[in-house]
Structure 1
Amino acid sequence: MPSHYFEDFPQGFVREYGAHHVTKDHIIEFASEFDPQPFHLDEEAGKKSILGGLSGSGWQTASVAMRLIFESILKDAASLGSPGVEELRWLKPVRPGDILSLRAEVLDARVSRSRPGMGILTWRFGVLDQNGQEVMWLRSLMMLGTRAAPPLPPRTPPARPTSTTLPEFTPDFSVIDDTNGILTGWLDDLVIGFRVEIGSYQFTRDNMLRFARAYDPQVFHVDEEAAKQTFFGGLAASGWHTASACMSRLVATRNAYAAEARRRNLPRVPAGPSPGFRDLKWIQPVYVGDVLSYSTTPLEKRNISREGWGIAFHRNEGINQNGDKVFEFTSSSLWPMRG
């Protein structure tokens, strides 16, 4: 039985928790699978980048935060998952040797009107380094069972095909002309509203368990039999796995367009890192065998105070094999601008 419920985390609750030691090997291991940009993989490439050295993927930092949240809050709690993240900001690079801790604060606490047995908490989580400096913060929602109400009944997961083939994906370069920012790399050339398919990712029992055991070991992510008795009704992927898989497809697609630019003998400039995102929603659970097809659409571009750089905002979506949208968020990323 859980020992912590919604009522144990009132508005104004504040605590500091844990410590996570960041290593070079862990940075490279995560980046190799989910965010293989040069400044996450190679020290020399990192030194030449805007980050000034090898740094961890922001998605890894978010996943480490999830692990700290589990160890400090969710391990013995009546967790019902999370519908999403309102906003997240990456404030400074995370380096090998950093020791990360968590500051947790409840901003709002309310009981669901449609499900009285469910409480909804709005948290602000700050991730601090060993010097007490905040490297990342996020404002997110958490669903917990209430103490007096009986547990919510397990949902029935929708039928999944016995086997799903990962769709082959090749970018359609024929619809991209030489002046499109997706080829040139310049923010000036980015075409607002130009939707790009970025490929698919299959969630298997093995990759779901591997990710969840490392970063989000809630019972419905790591125990197939126990998960059947939870609100999810079956083994479900961590939301941070869903998001990290999207990042892997974004980087792979960006690399494919860079290769196409070289084939066309077009000069191309490298993109910069992301300062964060907003409005991330985990709309439906992702179950074993699901295949998500991801896409990204530029929404807006702006000048910023940093000389030679601007910022682009993209809407990113994940659609499962049944045509259901299960994941979305609005990202921001630094792009170079012509002088």
Structure 2
Amino acid sequence: MTNAVKYLDDMKVGDRAAFGSYPVTREEVLDFAAKYDPQAFHLDDAAAAKTHFGRLSASGWHTCAMTMRMMVEGLTVGGQASLGSPGIDQIRWLKPVYPGDTLRVETVITEIRPSRSKPDIGTVHSDITVFNQSDAPVMTMKSIGLLKRRPAEA
């Protein structure tokens, strides 16, 4: 059985979703940091040990990227009428993410707003929390997604 596409009209404030299981690997932490955030505590064990992190840690931007991967995989099961995003209102990195951690995501819809100028789309505002394997929150963000409205023929 195939799940139906979720349009803006299918969602309501308070809807929750939980998904993802993303293992954080040392190789990926080093690769991401080398390419996009080449700070010593993301690249070198000895340098990281001398910081408040205590050991090699993932870049916060890497945590965002892993979260995006889990969200796309988790929220598009059966299809979603996603049109991307106009942005993120807030990101907070609460705890370091380390190689060996396993991340997961929980979302809650806080606002739904049909567009006044483009009646075929609208925005969904969500609070997103990323947890590690100990259920400790490691990152939060307030996200805005653009979604299609249900077509008249659907």
Superposed pair shares fold, TM > 0.5:
yes
Q: Distance in 1 between matches of 2:110 and 2:10?
A: 14
Aligned position for 2:36: 34
Distance 1:149 1:80, change over 3 A: farther
Aligned position for 1:71: 73
Summarize deviations over 1:131-168 as a string: whole Å, max 9, x none. Answer: 10100010010001011358xxxxxxxxxxxxxxxxxx
> Which of 132, 137, 146 is the equivalent residue of 1:129?
132
Q: Which runs of 5+ in 1 are unaligned?
A: 151-339
Summarize deviations over 1:103-127 as a string: whole Å, max 9, x none. Answer: 0110001101111110200011100
> 1:117–1:149: 8 Å Cα contact kept in structure 2?
no
Q: Distance in 2 between matches of 1:57 and 1:65?
A: 12
TM-score (norm 1): 0.43
Summarize deviations over 1:218-267 as a string: whole Å, max 9, x none. Answer: xxxxxxxxxxxxxxxxxxxxxxxxxxxxxxxxxxxxxxxxxxxxxxxxxx
Higher Rg: 1
Distance 1:149 1:63, change over 3 A: farther
Summarize deviations over 1:269-311 as a string: whole Å, max 9, x none. Answer: xxxxxxxxxxxxxxxxxxxxxxxxxxxxxxxxxxxxxxxxxxx
Identity across the alignment (%): 39
Distance 1:149 1:118, change over 3 A: farther
- After alignment, is 7-16 or 92-101 more displaced? 7-16
Q: Distance in 1 between matches of 2:82 and 2:72?
A: 10
Q: Distance in 2 between matches of 1:109 and 1:40?
A: 38
Aligned position for 1:23: 25
Name the SS for the 2:32 alignment partner: helix
Runs (4+) of structure 1 exceeding 3 A deviation are none
Number of aligned positions between the proteins: 149
The amino acid of 2:90's aligned partner reads E
TM-score (norm 2): 0.93
Q: Distance in 2 between matches of 1:62 and 1:74?
A: 18
Q: Distance in 1 between matches of 2:76 and 2:18?
A: 14
Name the SS for the 2:127 alignment partner: strand
**Residues 1:55 and 2:57 are matched in the alignment:** yes
Q: Distance in 2 between matches of 1:111 and 1:37?
A: 42
Q: Alignment RMSD, CA only?
A: 1.3
Q: Distance in 2 between matches of 1:8 and 1:19?
A: 25
Aligned position for 2:93: 90
Aligned position for 1:139: 142
Greater relative contact order: 1 or 2 (C-alpha under 8 angstroms, separation 6 or more)? 2
